[in-house]
Structure 1
Amino acid sequence: MTNEAQYLVRVCNDFLNEKIDTVQFVERYQTYFENFQEQLSRDEFEILDFIYMACEYYQSDASIRETDPHLLDEEQLRQAVVKKVQSLNAIS
Structure 2
Amino acid sequence: MAAWAGASGPGLLPAVAAAKVRAGEAAGQAAAIAHQVHGAIGFTEEHRLHLYTGRLRAWRDAFGREAEWAQVLGRHLIAAGPEGLWPAITAA
* Superposition TM-score, scaled by structure 1 size: 0.33
Asked which structure has the greater CA Rg, the reply is 2
* Superposition TM-score, scaled by structure 2 size: 0.33
